Structure 1
C-alpha cells in the first residue's frame, strides 16, 4: 500500500487534477491543447535534450536491456495486429493502428516520474537509454508499416514509402530533442564546455515538462470516452499492460540483466500506451475510437499493473 500512496498516487493525482479541471470547464479544450503543445513540442524535448546530453551513454548502454524491452514491444505489436486482422476482422490499416496501441508505451510521461519516485533520480538512466531510441524506432516502424499497407492500394514505390516514413519521424519534436541531445553528448565528450547559465535555463524548462505533461494528459483523457469496440480495446490493454511487461521480464531474467536494467525495462514496458497511440491513429484516421478508449482505460488500469511490478521487482 505504501508503494501505491507514495509512488503511484502523486503521478495520477496530477493527471486527475487535469481531468477534473477540464471536466468542470475551468479550462476549455483549446487551453488544454495549448498546455499539451507546450509540453510535447517544447518542454519535454528540452527535458530529453538536457538528460541525454549529460547521460553517460557508455555506462548506461545495455544491448540486452534494449533487446528484452523491444522484443517484447514488437511481439506485442504483431500479436495485436494478427488478432485484429484474423479474429476481429478489422481492415489492414485498422490492424496496424491497433498494433501500434499494443506497441507504444508511455515511456516518458508516466515511465520517468514513476521510476523516479519508486527508485530515485539516479535510477532513470536506464529509462533514458530506452527512450533515446523509443520514439525514433517505434514511430519509424509504425509509419513504415502503415505506409506499406497503404502502398498496396495507392501503388506507391518503395522509395516513396521510405521517404514518407522518414519525413514523418524526423519532424517529431521528441525525436528532434533526442537527436540534439545525442549530438550535444558527443560534443561534450570531445571537450565542449557550455556556461552554467545554459544548463540552468535548460533545467528550468525541463522542470516544467513532467507536471505540465501529466496535467495536460488528464485534460486530454477527458475527451476519450469509451465507445464500442470492446474486444479491440481489451486486446490493446492486454498486450500493452500484460504481454509486453511479462515478455520483457522473462527475457530480462533469461539474459541475467542487472537489477537496475531489468527495473527500467519492465517498468517502462508496463506503462499504458499514452496519447501517442491516439495521435498515430488520428494521423491516418484509422481505429481512432479504439485508440482513444484504450488510452483512457489502460491508463486507469495501469495503476494496478504498475503497483504489481514495483512490488515484484527487487
Structure 2
C-alpha cells in the first residue's frame, strides 16, 4: 500500500484535480488548451532539452532496453491493427489509428513522474534514453502507415510518403526539444561551457513542465467520456497495459538487463496510451472516439497496473 499512497497517488491526484476543476467549470476549455499548449509546446520540450543535454548518452545507452521496449510496442501496434481491422470490422484508417493507440505509451507525462517518485531523480536516465527516440520513431512509423493506407490505389512513391512523414515529425515541439538537447550534449562534450544563468533559467522552466502538464491532462481527460466501442477500447487497454509491459519484462529477462534498465523499460511500457494517440487520430479523423476513450479509461486503469509492476520491480 505504501507504493500506492506514496508514489502513484500524488501523480494521479494532480490529474484528478485538473479533471475536477474542468468538470466544475472552474477552469474553462480555453484555459485548459492554453495550459496544455504551454506545457507541450514550451515547458516539456525545455524539460527534455535540459535533461538530455546533461545526460551521459554513452553510459545510458542500452540496446537491449530499447529492443525490449520497442518490440513490445510494435507487437502491440500490430495486434491492435490486425484485430480491429479483421475482427472488429473497422475501416483501414481506423485500424491504423487504433493500432497507434496500442503503440504510444504515455512515456513522458506519466512515466517520468512515476519513475522519479518510485526510484529517485537519477533513475529516469533510462526513461530519457527511451523517450529520446520514442516520439520520432513512433510518429514516423504511424504517419508512414497511415499515409500508405490512405494512398492505396494511388501512385504516391515511397520516398514521397516517407518525406511527408519525416516533415511532420520534425515540426513537433517535443522532437525539436530532443534534437536540441542532443546537439547541446555534443557541444558540452566538445568543451562548450554555458553560463550558470542559462541553466538556472532552463531548470526553472523545466520544473514547471510536469505539474502543468499533469494538471492540464486532467482537464483534457474530462472531455473524453467513454462512448460505445467498448470492445475496441478494451483491446487498446489490453495491449497498452498488459501485452506491452509483459513482452518488455520477458525480453528484459532474456537480455539480462541491469536493474535500472529493466525498471525504466517495464515502467514506461506499463503506462496508459498518451494524449498524442488521440492527437494522431484527430489529425487523420480516424478512430477518434476509440482513441479518446482509451486514453481516459487506460489512464484510470493504469493506477492498478503501475502498482503491480512497481511491486514486481524492487
Q: TM-score, normalised by structure 2?
A: 0.99
**Match for residue 51 of structure 1?**
51
**Match for residue 179 of structure 2?**
179
Aligned equivalents of 1:281 and 1:130: distance in 2?
Answer: 23
Aligned equivalents of 1:251 and 1:94: distance in 2?
Answer: 30
Aligned equivalents of 1:249 and 1:109: distance in 2?
Answer: 21
**Match for residue 241 of structure 1?**
241
Q: Deviations over 1:265-291 (max 9, x none)?
A: 000000001110100000000000000
Aligned equivalents of 1:153 and 1:43: distance in 2?
Answer: 42
Q: How does 1:6-85 map to 2 (within 5 A)?
A: 6-85=6-85
Q: Deviations over 1:123-170 (max 9, x none)?
A: 000000000000000000000000111111543222221121011100
Aligned equivalents of 1:306 and 1:110: distance in 2?
Answer: 10
Q: How does 1:146-161 map to 2 (within 5 A)?
A: 146-161=146-161
Aligned equivalents of 1:78 and 1:55: distance in 2?
Answer: 32
Query: Could you list the runs of 5+ residues in structure 1 that have no partner in the other structure?
Result: none
Q: What's the CA shift for 1:221?
A: 0.1
**Match for residue 280 of structure 2?**
280
Aligned equivalents of 1:165 and 1:79: distance in 2?
Answer: 22
- 1:98 matches 2:65: no
**Match for residue 112 of structure 2?**
112
**Match for residue 250 of structure 1?**
250
**Match for residue 271 of structure 1?**
271
Moved over 4 A (4+): none
Aligned equivalents of 2:124 and 2:286: distance in 1?
Answer: 34
Q: Deviations over 1:82-139 (max 9, x none)?
A: 1011111111110000000000000000000000000000000000000000000000
Aligned equivalents of 2:177 and 2:162: distance in 1?
Answer: 22
Aligned equivalents of 1:218 and 1:136: distance in 2?
Answer: 25
Aligned equivalents of 2:125 and 2:186: distance in 1?
Answer: 17
**Match for residue 4 of structure 1?**
4
Cα RMSD after superposing both structures: 0.6
Q: TM-score, normalised by structure 1?
A: 0.99
3-state SS of 1:152 partner: coil
Query: Could you list the runs of 5+ residues in structure 2 that have no partner in the other structure?
Result: none
Aligned equivalents of 1:264 and 1:159: distance in 2?
Answer: 35
